[in-house]
Amino acid sequence: VDARTEITTELLSKEGFVVTFTDDDGEDQKEAFKKREFEKRFFAPATNQLFCKTFLENSLRDPVSGEVGKSIIFAVSQNHAAKLTQILNDMADRMFPGKYQSDFAVQVTSQVSDAQRFTINFSNNNLLGSANFLPAYKTSKARVCVTVGMMTTGYDCTDILNLGLFRPIFSPTDFIQIKGRGTRKHDFFEQLFDDSYRDGVAQPQKTAFKLFDFFANCEYFEEEFNYDEVLKLPRPQKGKGGEGPDPPPPGGTYEHLGVDILSEVREETIGLEGMKIDRMFFEKFEDTVRENETIAKAVEAGQWDRVIDYVNQEVFDKPEEYYNLTKLRKAAAVDRRLTLREILEKIFGLIPRFKSKDELLEEEFAKFVSDAKPAEAESIPAIKTFFKAYVTSDQIRHIIESRHFTDLATNPVFSTRDFRAVPEKYRTMIPEYVKDYVSLNQFVA
């Protein structure tokens, strides 16, 4: 969600937000503020209010309880995080009277005692309590964590539905890390302990998340950032929790006391193709491994166990780029789970491209046909449909193995009619063949 206010639009412009004032000598002066100075030298209380209001009104809701989905908001500084937390709690108390008592949003920064424990409790769905709306649904009472950097790297909370970029971002690594917090899959029924509520939940599986971008960060990394330029930056001194103290701003400050309104809200769906920054991340990994002599020699010699172990130990999860298999799979934008070997084969030119899920399914089905040699030519389409459904859906496998065939009547992937079209002997032959000869892991999305 690209949401820009009148003030942030000016901060993002080439000219910046221009302020006219009279100096001590009585001379008229002008000063321009850019996005880097937001909440450092340039302050706008109305803009923070508008950020929070827009976020709350447009955030994805929890599919079970209907409350605001669990969210992480990234602020400019610890002082900014404190302001946003206060605003969100005030607004939540008005939107949901008596429900949260200022427990809706929590500041999670290094200046806050027990901040590390807060991150763990948020992931475990017991931050400041749980089951606030439904007694049988054990989701966290606190719905929003407001942070600066503590929850950027290596934090895993699968049921995050909303991310808020309430600050400009300039590092592609930080941007990838931040948006990666929303990409985990989740089954919301895991926290539901009363089956009577299940029928009322239309979509229990997490299929998407919302990224609220108030500073055109997505546009910056898609259109403006120079991925070919290599900059050596001094490392900031970090305090506890990965965040340094807020440095004093150079020069004077300005507080805009006027109102602010939304000038643009544009929602864009990002599909499997991903964003440019994801593709550039993959290309950078390609360069890294190609230039590594140890990896190149091991690949040339076909020593796959050695090279995979080396990449896992020496390349993945290093502070420079934080490469890992999950990010590379996302960056590759393939509709199935790639192996590290496949990725390396593609990088070193051993395969021309990554095959799609359906291409692999067609290959596996061709092997099955070659082995089983079905004589019922007219039934092959039905057999193929069953084969593909069984391989790709753990729900279908469970129905077939438990013999709960009536569940197929409401299954959108493979229906009772589809099953009846399959000759009876293949209803048992295909599950046995798949168990013996097909690796299911590669077909997971």
HEC per residue, 293-333: HHHHHHHHCCCHHHHHHHHHHHHCCCCCCCCCHHHHHHHHC
Q: What are the structural domains, with CATH classification, of the chain?
A: 42-266 (3.40.50.300), 276-347 (no CATH), 357-443 (no CATH)
- Of 179-193, 251-265, 331-345, which gets the smallest average pLDDT? 251-265
List, in sequence order, the alpha helices (H) in 125-254.
Answer: 172-180, 217-219
Element spanning 106, H or E: strand 105-107
Inform me whether the pLDDT recorded for 23 exceeds 80: no
Say which DSSP state 144 is in: E
For residue 122, what are its two tokens? 């948020």
For residue 258 the two structure tokens come to 């006027």
**Coil, strand or helix at 266:** strand
Q: Dump the DSSP string for 200-226.
A: G-S--B----EEEESS-HHHIIIII--
Give the model's pLDDT for residue 428: 94
**Burial tier of 29 (Cβ tally within 10 Å: 0-12, 13-18, 19+):** exposed
Q: Picking from 32-41, 268-277, 393-402, 415-424, which range would have the lowest pLDDT averaged per residue? A: 268-277
Q: What's the pLDDT score for residue 7?
A: 92
Counting residues of the chain whose pLDDT is more than 70, the rounded percentage is 92
* Model confidence pLDDT, tens digit, residues 178-236: 888 888 889 999 999 998 999 889 899 998 999 999 999 988 888 777 666 544 444 44
Mean pLDDT of the chain: 87
As given in the structure block, the two tokens for residue 347 are: 């990088």
Question: Alpha-carbon distance 70 to 158, whole Å?
Answer: 10
CA pair distance 66, 88, nearest whole angstrom: 18
**Cα–Cα nearest to 85, from 113, 109, 61:** 109
| Residues 52/92, Cβ–Cβ less than 8 Å | no
pTM over 0.85: no
Question: From the CA atom positions of the chain, what is the Rg in Å?
Answer: 26
Instruction: State the chain's maximal CA–CA distance in angstroms.
Output: 98
Q: Closest Cα partner for 49 from 247, 259, 192?
A: 259
Tens digit of each residue's pLDDT (9 = 90 or more) over 138-176? 999 999 999 998 888 767 899 999 999 999 998 888 888
**Distant-in-sequence, close-in-space partners of 121: CB < 8 Å, separation ≥ 6:** 127, 128, 140
Mean of the pLDDT values across residues 102-128?
A: 94
CB half-sphere exposure, 206, CA atoms < 13 A: 23
Q: In b/e form, how buried is each residue of 230-239, taking b as 16+ CB within 10 angstroms?
A: eeeeeeeeee
